[in-house]
Amino acid sequence: MAVGAHIAGMASYVPAGRLAVAEVRRHWPGAGAPPGVRSVSVAGFDEDVVTMAVEALDALFAVTGVGSDEVDAVVVATCSSPYAEHSAAAEVARALDLPRSVALVDLAGSVRGGVVGLSTAADGVAAGRWRRVVVVAADARRGEPGTPVEALGAGAVAALVAEAGGAALGASTTWRHGVPTRWRPDGSRALRSYDDARYERDELVVPAVRAVTAAAAPGAAPEFAAGGYTDARSPAAIAKACDLGAGGEVDLGVDELADIGDLGTAGPLLALAHCLSRAEPGARGLCFGAEPGAGADALPVTVTASVPVRHRRPETAEVDYVGFLQRAAVLEAPSMAPIVPWAATPGAERDDLEGALVGAECRACGSVSIPPRPVCLDCGSRSSDLRSVPRQGAVVTHNRQHVVAVHPEPTPVSVGVARLDGLGGARGGQVSAMFCDSDLDAVRVGSPVELVYRRLGADDGLVKYGWKMRLR
């Protein structure tokens, strides 16, 4: 490498909400839960991966003193972007007004993304392509209700990777291993799992982590080993199985794991931030991330000077299970200002009266006002009688519409005016309607038609009925 890549600062954000695992178990007594996890952090109604990433990056800029206009690339790693397609990195760059020329790197679809993002940034800096890169890993995942993976944590962790900094990054290592045991099908928002935690840990995670950590730090006992975990009991077990050192000898950085749960892509980076905040110069360690069934990645980290770290932690607030489901949009609260289907309104009731086949026949001139009016359309007389009107008539004018938002009828559709048989008046005695069941090429002024009762569309599932005309 021409130049080294270093972490020059880290910052994190964990949202205020806390869902107690006991609260979930109260509702799903038999479902199981991640061992050792007391609660998980829950994003607010107005929070998502983008807003949490912005919080973490904002704290990162503040703690490092680097300006948002000095960034060459932004790497966003997440499994729970608000978009299945559309760059979350672009949204983050837009929110923080990063330079228009900033490189946007989106890493999605695996919790390995956090560590992969760090190594991507390190490679870009070491190769001289970028001078300063911000990496942010953020997640707000949830699992299928009533399963052991239902309650997952939410939060974001950011790192500044630059040519100079307090923690030197070495060459990353990677290893593919196993078959998938945690997956989210296309179109679903909930993680599913093959519910066998010991198989997952011992046969899928440990072999992959052992492979990458051995390759990243051959022969050396690390002073810290920052990883991501699905529960709070496995860190010690994995460290031991992978020869990373027994409890107390190695800093695992899992300070908050029992309080906030599995942070997905952000988990290894949060552990690294905790480790770096107390590592002495000269300390050597690792950051690694694993997805059960996909494998693992590790990055060697050597501390040369103190690394500024800032954690943003709003005061926590307890969230009950229903509140959690609402925040996760499993239960969707009705809007306080619903879109009103017109067909259900008082106005539609009046429209119905006006849309009926009823007219006001003038006692003075015989014109039939449709819809009924208190004053005759033609002569202005105020004396009239309500009467039903005939359904047969003749076309007065008509047009074939090619650009019109009707549904489900295909375009073109024709619309016109008809004079109803035997009704008097110049302005009176006519109706407007769409044609149905007719050869539109055959419609002419004067063509005989009849009115038929049909669907006039649906609005929010409410059907509107009324009159159309067809050639007879």
Partner 1 sequence: MIGSGVSVVGAGMVRFGERFDAGYEDLAVAAWQACLDAVDLGIDPDRVEAAWLSTALGGLIRREAVTGASLADPLGFHPRPVTRIENACAGGSDAIRNAAYAVAAGAYDVVVVLGVEKMRDLPTRASLIAQRGTMSHQWWHPRGATSPYLFAQHATVLVEDGTLTREDMALVSVKNHDHGALNPLAFMRGRVTVEKVLGAAPICEPLGLLDCCPTTDGAAAVVLCRSEIAGRFTDTPVDLVATSLATDTMYSHTKPGFGFQDAPTRAGEQAYRLAGFGPDEIDVAELHDCFTIAELLAYEDLGFCGRGESAKWLRSGGPALGGELPCNPSGGLLSKGHPIGATGVAQLCEVFWQVRGQAGDRQVDGARTGLTHNVGGNGQVCCVNIARRR
List residues binding partner 1 (CB under 8 A). Answer: 342-343, 351, 354-355, 369-371, 377, 396-407, 409, 412-418, 426-428, 430-434, 444-445, 456-457, 459, 464, 466-468
Contact 297, 116 (CB under 8 A): yes
Minimum Å distance from CB 367 to partner 1?
10
* DSSP-assigned letters across all residues of 26-52: HHSTTS---TT--EEEE--TT--HHHH
Q: Which is nearer to partner 1, 133 or 420 (CB)?
A: 420
Minimum Å distance from CB 101 to partner 1?
21
Q: Which is nearer to partner 1, 308 or 393 (CB)?
A: 393
Q: Which is nearer to partner 1, 244 or 389 (CB)?
A: 389
Minimum Å distance from CB 265 to partner 1?
36
Which tokens sit at 244?
Answer: 């990373």
Q: Which residues contact 217 (CB under 8 A, 6 or more apart)?
A: 284, 286, 300
CA 350/CA 368 separation, integer angstroms: 19
Contact 347, 359 (CB under 8 A): no
Single-letter amino acid code for the residue at 336: M
Name the one residue in this structure whose structure tokens are 């950051």. Answer: 287
Minimum Å distance from CB 204 to partner 1?
48
Q: Which is nearer to partner 1, 198 or 402 (CB)?
A: 402
- Residue 282 phi/psi, 5-degree rounding, is 95, -15
Contact 331, 322 (CB under 8 A): yes
Query: Which residues sit opposite 104 in a β-bridge?
Result: 74
Q: Which is nearer to partner 1, 235 or 416 (CB)?
A: 416
Minimum Å distance from CB 443 to partner 1?
9
Contact 351, 332 (CB under 8 A): no
Minimum Å distance from CB 416 to partner 1?
7
Q: Which is nearer to partner 1, 233 or 400 (CB)?
A: 400
Contact 139, 154 (CB under 8 A): yes
Task: Examine residue 408 and say whether the peptide bond preceding it is cis (omega within 30 degrees of 0).
Answer: yes
Single-letter amino acid code for the residue at 17: G
Minimum Å distance from CB 472 to partner 1?
18
Q: Which is nearer to partner 1, 67 or 408 (CB)?
A: 408
Query: Which residues sit opposite 158 in a β-bridge?
Result: 11, 136
